[in-house]
């Protein structure tokens, strides 16, 4: 028999994002990137050539709002599901104060955090602010459907707001994508759903402890259930008998 691998390596780890969350996330991610690529040409002519990706300038103008509707729908679902884990706690403030340690990879100096760190929570809250406002301002300037019915000052305000909000959202998106590349294991977590226990302990200690507690309690519970089940089997032998024909 070969030597057993260390448990931490062979362990399936902890489920961080279930399949629904992952699909939800990537539907938003893909549509968000498409929105950025189709929106930037109207933000500054420097990006005009991106309209070529969407079948030309007019086609880009037509498609952009529909992609927006699609994303807003799936974002709403994710925003509701991720609400609780995104509430900002006291340790998050401390984490943010030590942002220098975060950036210089001095993780040992950081306070333990929950399932999401303050950076992830900020991404959540900035997007929760931006996406609904982008949706509303976008609807107000949507040609040929709504724009003509909107008072001109409101239309100008919406056009300006849409541009600034998009800028904020794009910067946030860049930080979000970079974090996924920078923090090893986080990208895999969003693809495959699971993280290793050492990873969880290192990056999200409070969440790790929570999950381990659950696991222990689960084992105890399952053990108890198993014993009860055995006993009941003894009391009711009829249950193991074949069904009558």
Partner 1 sequence: MRGEQINSQNIIARSATSVPSPQRRSGGVETVTKLIDVSRCIGCKACQVACSEWNDLRDEVGTCVGEYDNPTDLTPDSWQVMRFNEHENEQGNLEWLIRKDNCMHCAEPGCLEACPAPGAIVQYANGIVDFNSEHCIGCGYCVAGCPFDVPRISKKDSKAYKCTLCSDRVSHGLEPACVKSCPTGSIMFGTKEDMLDLAETRTDFLKGRGFENAGIYDPQGVGGTHVIYVLQHADKPEIYSGLPKDPRISPLVEGWKGIPKPLASVAIGLAAFAGFFHYLAAGPKETPEEEDEEVEKEMRADEERDQELEEKRP
Hey, which residues are catalytic here?
Answer: 176
In the shown chain, the binding pattern of residues 186 to 225 toward partner 1, with x for contact by CB under 8 A and - for none, equals ----------xxxx-xxx--------x---x--xx--x--
How many chain residues are in contact with partner 1, going by CB under 8 A? 60
Close Cβ partners of 38 (under 8 Å, ≥ 6 residues apart): 50, 51, 53, 54, 60, 63, 64, 67
- Decide if residue 240 touches partner 1 (CB under 8 A): no
- Decide if residue 159 touches partner 1 (CB under 8 A): yes
Q: At its nearest, how many Å lie between partner 1 and the CB of residue 50?
A: 12
Element (H, E) at 14: strand 14-15
Rounded to the nearest 5°, which phi and psi values hold at 14? -115, 140
**Which one of 52, 55, 69, 104 is in contact with partner 1 (CB under 8 A)?**
104
Residue 61 and residue 141: Cα distance in Å, rounded?
12
**Which one of 15, 128, 157, 190 is in contact with partner 1 (CB under 8 A)?**
157
Q: At its nearest, how many Å lie between partner 1 and the CB of residue 181?
A: 7
204, 113 in Cβ contact below 8 A?
yes
- Decide if residue 8 touches partner 1 (CB under 8 A): yes
**Which one of 1, 3, 4, 6 is in contact with partner 1 (CB under 8 A)?**
6
- Decide if residue 152 touches partner 1 (CB under 8 A): yes
Q: Which is nearer to partner 1, 30 or 36 (CB)?
A: 36
- Decide if residue 99 touches partner 1 (CB under 8 A): no
Residue 186 and residue 194: Cα distance in Å, rounded?
9
- Burial (CB < 10 A; 0-12, 13-18, 19+), residue 89, is middle
Q: At its nearest, how many Å lie between partner 1 and the CB of residue 60?
A: 8
Residue 64 and residue 72: Cα distance in Å, rounded?
12
Radius of gyration of the chain (CA): 25
Pairing of the two strands 194-195 and 14-15: antiparallel
Q: How many CB atoms lie within 10 A of CB 45?
A: 8
78, 86 in Cβ contact below 8 A?
no
Residues 17-76 that bind partner 1 (CB under 8 A): 41-48, 57-58, 60-61
Binding site for partner 1 (CB under 8 A): 6-9, 11, 41-48, 57-58, 60-61, 103-105, 107, 141, 143-144, 147-148, 152-153, 155-157, 159-160, 163-164, 167, 170-171, 174-175, 177-178, 181-185, 196-199, 201-203, 212, 216, 219-220, 223, 227
């Amino acid at each position: 028999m070969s030597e057993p691998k260390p448990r931490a390596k062979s362990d399936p780890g902890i489920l961080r994002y279930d399949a629904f969350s992952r699909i939800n996330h990537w539907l938003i991610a893909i549509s968000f990137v498409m929105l950025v690529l189709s929106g930037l040409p109207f933000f500054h002519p420097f990006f005009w050539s991106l309209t070529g990706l969407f079948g030309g300038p007019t086609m880009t103008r037509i498609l952009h709002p529909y992609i927006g509707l699609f994303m807003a729908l799936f974002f709403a679902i994710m925003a509701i599901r991720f609400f609780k884990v995104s509430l900002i706690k006291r340790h998050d403030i401390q984490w943010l104060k030590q942002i220098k340690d975060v950036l210089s990879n001095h993780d040992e100096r950081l306070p333990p955090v929950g399932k999401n760190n303050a950076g992830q929570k900020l991404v959540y809250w900035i997007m929760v602010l931006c996406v609904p406002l982008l949706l509303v301002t976008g609807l107000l300037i949507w040609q040929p459907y709504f724009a003509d019915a909107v008072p001109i000052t409101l239309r100008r305000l919406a056009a300006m707001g849409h541009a600034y909000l998009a800028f904020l959202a794009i910067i946030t998106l860049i930080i979000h994508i970079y974090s996924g590349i920078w923090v090893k294991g986080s990208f895999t977590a969003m693809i495959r759903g699971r993280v290793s226990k050492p990873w969880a302990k290192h990056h999200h200690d409070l969440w790790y402890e929570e999950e381990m507690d659950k696991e222990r309690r689960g084992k105890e519970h399952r053990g108890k259930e198993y014993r009860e089940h055995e006993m009941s089997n003894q009391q009711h032998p009829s249950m193991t008998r074949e069904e009558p024909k």
